[in-house]
């Protein structure tokens, strides 16, 4: 957290909210925000309770701060949609503003997870965005990624957006990367291609 506070100071941030667990969860997480549909797909399919934790803490933070607007990156597009819909469902007076994914020069979506990649893994990781952006189908994207050494959790096209989660083995750790891209062609059918 110290590094985050240093960055915030350098960027001219006026206030940082840093509650303790006991301050944020005086109920010890007895009360939770659940969503019973989209949160169980994509990144939620194999991470039971993940989005329950996300939505619960986001609701608490929004209720504490009471902002007019809150900004969420489109890199985690599923999370952005879930938070937006949660705010609408509970009549919260805040506009959720999606922010375009910030990318490295080679197209890799910026993420703190990128620091876990070794040099060969970082080079391969740059393929993730190119493959899902240029493949003619989800199946073709899965094949290309597996051929490049990724373990693919899913490549899924929903409406006009393609989502991916894939893992790279780097030294002694596995790094899970996610990304998504808008698809420009009209009428792309919904399709799902997954690897467990």
CB atoms within 10 A of CB 137: 14
Domain parsing of the chain, residue ranges: 2-99, 112-194
Please indicate, yes or no, whether the overall pTM of this predicted structure exceeds 0.75. Answer: yes
DSSP assigned state of 31: S
CATH level 3 topology of 112-194: 3.30.1300
**What is residue 64's predicted lDDT score, i.e. its pLDDT?**
95
Secondary element (H or E) of residue 58: helix 50-65
76-109: per-residue pLDDT in tens? 999 999 999 999 999 999 999 999 999 999 999 9
| Domain covering 2-99 in this structure, CATH number | 3.40.50.620
Geometric angle at alpha carbon 119, from 114 and 122, rounded to 5°:
40
Q: How confident is the model at residue 42 (pLDDT cuts 50, 70, 90)?
A: very high
103-139: pLDDT as tens digits:
999 999 999 999 999 999 999 999 999 999 999 999 9
53, 90, 97, 178 from 43: Cα distances, Å? 13, 23, 21, 9
DSSP class of residue 16 equals: -
Who wins on pLDDT, 172 or 178? 178
Tell me the CA distances in angstroms from 103 to 29, 30, 66, 174, 194, one per residue in order. Answer: 35, 38, 30, 21, 25
In this predicted structure, the answer to whether residue 170 has a pLDDT above a threshold of 90 is no
């Amino acid at each position: 957290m110290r590094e985050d506070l240093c960055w915030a100071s350098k960027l001219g941030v006026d206030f940082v909210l840093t509650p303790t667990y006991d301050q944020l969860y005086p109920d010890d997480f007895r009360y939770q925000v659940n969503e019973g549909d989209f949160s169980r797909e994509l990144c939620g399919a194999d991470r039971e309770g993940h989005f329950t934790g996300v939505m619960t803490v986001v609701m608490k933070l929004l209720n504490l701060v009471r902002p007019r607007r809150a900004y969420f990156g489109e890199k985690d597009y599923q999370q952005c949609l879930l938070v937006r819909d949660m705010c609408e469902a509970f009549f919260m007076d805040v506009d959720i503003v999606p922010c375009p994914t910030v990318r490295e020069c080679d197209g890799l979506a910026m993420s703190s997870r990128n620091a876990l990649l070794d040099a060969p893994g970082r080079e391969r990781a740059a393929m993730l965005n190119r493959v899902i952006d240029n493949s003619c189908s989800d199946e073709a994207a899965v094949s290309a990624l597996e051929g490049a050494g990724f373990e693919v959790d899913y490549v899924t096209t929903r409406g006009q957006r393609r989502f991916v989660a894939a893992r790279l083995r780097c030294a002694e750790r596995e790094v899970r990367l996610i990304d998504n891209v808008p698809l420009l062609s009209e009428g792309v059918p919904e399709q799902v291609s997954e690897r467990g």
